[in-house]
Structure 1
Amino acid sequence: MSLRDRLLALLVALLWGLNFPATEIALWQFPPILMVSLRWALLAIPAILFVPRPQVKLRWLVGTGLGIGVLQFGFVYVGMAAGMPSGLAGLALQSSAPFTMLLAGIFLREKISARQVTGIGVAVLGLAAIVAYRAQVAALLPVILTLAGGLGWAIGNICSRQARAPKPLHLTMWMSVIPPVPMALLSLVLEGPRRIGSTFTTLTTWHAWTAVLALLYIVIFAGLIAYGIWNTLLARNPSSQVAPFSMLMPAFGVASAWIALGEGMSTVEIVAGVAVICGVLYASRPVKKAPTVTPVVDEGREVSVPGE
């Protein structure tokens, strides 16, 4: 990856990190499955009206929408509503990076270097230490749901990579067309008309508008802008190089949750978080190219000389 792409990936990690406290605030007002539907509907309407359909195969468009829009956000929002702290949610969701690398190796035959294996291994150990520590104060089910969201994200990453959209922003907008209707129907069945109705009839309070502003951040910054950049990076770089940057998100997520919501950080979390960051940075370092060899002719004999 170029330096520019690495900086863009870092920006995405920041936007996604801030997404977690924003999600917790939005869940004060909106039930989780309904919020998934609303989140994507706010992008789907302008996409249908103003954005040309991306020139990709339908199965990859649907796969990206189902993986990211339905599975990732559905599991994560339900997990957070069930008691998953926003900082821990950002950490557990980083399971998407090793899931992506594993799926890319199996289905796309992408080569994983020893450096990437080592770096991701260190990051995974750091995540495991944080999850094990925080799981002591959180129920097991929310953790499992968030890990399932990480798998959904990995599936979406692979489909986005296979789509190779000429204009990734169009893919970002049009994948939002997939989740709203099925998630709205699921919300109607599981969350019920009464809860959905009370969500909209109480929007006049300041508390509710704080949640609305948080939802708008999720849609515009963590959704449209961040996923537009992410899909662009996936379109021009191997998945195994892009995916590790998502593991930097916990540092921003835990810090922002601490600032905005008062969620504390222990020494174990800080040390393990540093291990995650170091592992990702090591895995994403470019491989040094071997020096080229230039043949030169010396008195009729060909001699190999290191390239200039």
Structure 2
Amino acid sequence: MKPSPYQTRSGVFALATLCCLLWGSAFPAVKNGYALLHIAPGDVPSQMLFAGWRFALAGAILLMVAAVMKKPLLALNGRQMRQVALLGLAQTTIQYVFFYVGLAHASGVKSSIMNATGVFFSVVLAHFLYANDRLNSRKALGCLIGFLGVIVVNLGGGAFGFDFSLLGEGFIVIAAFMLAAASIYGKRLSADMDPMVMTGWQLFIGGAILIGIGVAGGGHMEGMGLQSGALLLYMALLSAVAFAVWSLLLKHNPVGLIAAFNFLIPVFGVSLSALFLGESLLRWSYLAALGLVCAGIWLVTRPSRPSRT
């Protein structure tokens, strides 16, 4: 039987790279969305409304695809539905409250680098939650190098030469931690339900809550037109496609193999932010931090060599 693209070496490389490219493109896409919709950095309700429509649409798209594939959309029992709702609250609502507010107060380049701390948070959390996924010297070194990159990217401005704000860079790091914690919870839930259905529902529920927060706070999207509508649709599609493909890759391949591609997300995020937002990439702190973060991710996700007897 011919293997699927999710199982061949070239297929895994191409599909995992595509996912990372899509996620990396979200940084300049969100920033451009703020500009097109006239959403100010301090207009949190409108930022939540923007985020909510993106993820509710992404969830709806993913659920429609799952229905076409004849997956059991309504087979979740009451307990599973509550678990998925909790996942949506944590992984989509709470995470993206911090992410969208943080991105409004920080550059796309810096946000791309700092968001990569989620990989290191995942490694540390897994150490305390899984007996077979403990920290070793290589993973500890990778985390140390990665967090050093986060320090370096904030050098070069502000008091004492440190350019960092809680609403900007701080919220991006909090969002990365929320994603790491929620992903571990989602991995446990996916053992008893279809990953695509689970992801579709959690995106839809989390997005609906964000829309409610935005509407309740008086949020609005004044500049909605053809260009901004196309951007919103693209962002919804990128989330739906990336989550769906990534879940299938994880199903057919070792987690460590797929996780190793995470280092591409900050690379694409930084490059695309510099390209589409006109942000400066040629700062020593940005280039050094990007190198440190990528090296750290490579270390913590590289499979351990089997011991010789």
* TM-score relative to the length of structure 2: 0.78
Task: State the AA in 1 paired with 2:202.
Answer: M
* TM-score relative to the length of structure 1: 0.78
Residue identity (%): 24
Shift of residue 14 of structure 1?
2.0
Give the secondary structure class of the aligned counterpart of 1:289.
Answer: coil
1:172 corresponding residue in structure 2: 199
Q: Conserved in 2, the CA contact under 8 Å of 1:26 and 1:212?
A: no
Instruction: After superposition, give the CA deviation of every residue in 1:80-126 in whole Å (9 maximum; x if it has no partner).
Output: 22x21111112222221122222222233332333222223222212
Q: Conserved in 2, the CA contact under 8 Å of 1:258 and 1:264?
A: yes
Task: For 1:219 and 1:262, locate their aligned partners in 2 and report how far apart those are by CA, in whole Å.
Answer: 24
Structure 1: gaps spanning 5 or more residues: 293-308
Q: Conserved in 1, the CA contact under 8 Å of 2:114 and 2:173?
A: yes
Structure 2: gaps spanning 5 or more residues: 1-6, 40-45
Please state if 1:100 is matched with 2:116.
no
Q: Conserved in 2, the CA contact under 8 Å of 1:121 and 1:279?
A: yes
Shift of residue 214 of structure 1?
2.3
Distance 1:132 1:241, change over 3 A: farther
Please state if 1:145 is matched with 2:162.
no
Task: For 2:134 and 2:58, locate their aligned partners in 1 and report how far apart those are by CA, in whole Å.
Answer: 35
Higher Cα Rg: structure 1 or 2? 1
Task: For 1:2 and 1:118, locate their aligned partners in 2 and report how far apart those are by CA, in whole Å.
Answer: 31
2:92 corresponding residue in structure 1: 69
Instruction: After superposition, give the CA deviation of every residue in 1:213-237 in whole Å (9 maximum; x if it has no partner).
Output: 222222112x011122333455567
More deviation in 63-72 or 264-273? 63-72
Task: For 2:17 and 2:140, locate their aligned partners in 1 and report how far apart those are by CA, in whole Å.
Answer: 20
2:31 paired residue among 8, 24, 27: 24
Shift of residue 153 of structure 1?
0.6
2:246 corresponding residue in structure 1: 230
Task: For 2:54 and 2:224, locate their aligned partners in 1 and report how far apart those are by CA, in whole Å.
Answer: 16
1:34 corresponding residue in structure 2: 49
Q: Conserved in 2, the CA contact under 8 Å of 1:61 and 1:159?
A: no
Task: State the AA in 1 paired with 2:128.
Answer: I
1:1-308, aligned counterparts within 5 Å? 5=12, 8-28=15-35, 29=37, 31-46=46-61, 51=67, 52-53=72-73, 57-81=80-104, 83-109=105-131, 110-133=133-156, 136=162, 139-165=165-191, 167-190=194-217, 192=218, 195-196=219-220, 199=221, 202-204=223-225, 209-221=226-238, 223-234=239-250, 245-265=261-281, 266-291=283-308
Task: For 1:123 and 1:129, locate their aligned partners in 2 and report how far apart those are by CA, in whole Å.
Answer: 10
Task: State the AA in 1 paired with 2:201.
Answer: W
What is the Cα-based RMSD across aligned positions, in Å?
Answer: 3.0
Task: State the AA in 2 paired with 1:273.
Answer: L
Distance 1:291 1:155, change over 3 A: closer
Task: For 2:112 and 2:275, locate their aligned partners in 1 and report how far apart those are by CA, in whole Å.
Answer: 15
Q: Conserved in 2, the CA contact under 8 Å of 1:129 and 1:272?
A: yes
Task: State the AA in 2 paired with 1:96.
Answer: G
Distance 1:114 1:240, change over 3 A: farther
Q: How many positions carry a matched residue from both structures? A: 280
Task: For 2:263 and 2:89, locate their aligned partners in 1 and report how far apart those are by CA, in whole Å.
Answer: 22
More deviation in 133-142 or 21-30? 133-142
